[in-house]
Amino acid sequence: MSNATTDHRRAIAEGNVKAILDATLGLLEHDPEPSFVEIARAAGVSRPTLYAHFPTREDLIEAVVARAVDEVGREARAARLDEDSAAAALERLVKMLWRKLSRLSTLARISGEVLPPERRRHAHETGLEPVRQLIVRGQEAGEFRADQSPEWMVSVLYALLHGAADDVTAGRFDEDSVGELLYASALGAFAPPHRE
């Protein structure tokens, strides 16, 4: 098989995956459980093609989440997290993450229902790296507590964001007010402990 043929097949496969993920995300905005038939039709691919790329609903949802998280990671890197104080960068990051998550709240809820915790966390790993780097910077500067690991602090922020999304979905809080609340809570959790 020639390189040109291989490249052509790879391009078709990549285009199919993109179409499937786009279609799934679009359908999830209106229906939390679109069928594979509906997804294949919306993506313009056959059901065998859909199943070849994503044999299970878990595989498909994990891929949609991973792509959304990659986009968040790109936005986080563009948020100049290495500039200003770590606290100021944390505010930009938390508010950006909340804006993005609030637009993807249905996906966040569905991923919580469909994916086991380890697969959900795995799908988030690349997007969480800029958060970890910011926490390390804040710890090294003395702005954030150093008595807890960066990994734990990432988990705290992750839990705050998803807990807030659940509360907004349940109608307990207004979406527009949550960004400030999240930042205040994250900053409180990250602040160095007071010594007397």
CATH of residue 94? 1.10.357.10
Residues 175-195, mean pLDDT to the nearest whole number: 87
* Residue 67 sits in the same domain as residue 164: yes
Residues 73 and 153 in one domain: yes
Q: Does residue 75 share a domain with residue 49? A: no
Is the pLDDT confidence value at 90 over 90?
yes
Query: Counting beta carbons within 10 angstroms of the beta carbon of residue 87, is it exposed (0 to 12), middle (13 to 18) or buried (19 or more)?
Result: middle
Percent of the chain topping pLDDT 70: 96
CATH number of the domain enclosing 32: 1.10.10.60
* Domain end point (choices 55, 83, 101): 55
Using one digit for the tens of pLDDT, what is the confidence trace for 118-173?
Answer: 777 777 776 778 889 999 999 999 999 999 999 999 989 988 988 888 788 788 88
Q: Are residues 74 and 42 in the same domain?
A: no
The mean per-residue pLDDT over the stretch 44-60 comes to: 94
Average pLDDT over residues 88-92: 92
Are 62 and 42 part of one and the same domain? no
Own/partner long-range contacts of 179-188 (Cβ < 8 Å, ≥24 apart): 179/94, 179/95, 179/98, 179/99, 182/94, 182/95, 182/98, 183/90, 183/91, 183/94, 183/95, 185/160, 186/90, 186/94, 186/156, 186/157, 186/160, 187/87, 187/90, 187/91
Residue 1 confidence class, pLDDT cut points 50, 70, 90: low
Residues 46 and 73 both lie in one domain: no
87 and 148 within one domain: yes
Residues 30 and 74 in one domain: no
Say whether both 130 and 76 belong to one domain.
yes
pLDDT in tens, 55-72: 999 899 988 888 888 887
Domain span at 33: 1-55
**Percentage of the chain surpassing pLDDT 90?**
38
Are residues 80 and 155 located together in one domain of the fold?
A: yes
- Of 12, 29, 55, the last residue of a domain is 55
Domain closes at, from 55, 72, 98: 55
Q: Is the pLDDT of residue 73 over 90?
A: no
Same-domain status, 33 and 61 = no
Q: Specify whether 26 is located in the same domain as 87.
A: no
Count of domains for the chain: 2
**Where is 51: in which H helix or E strand?**
helix 47-53
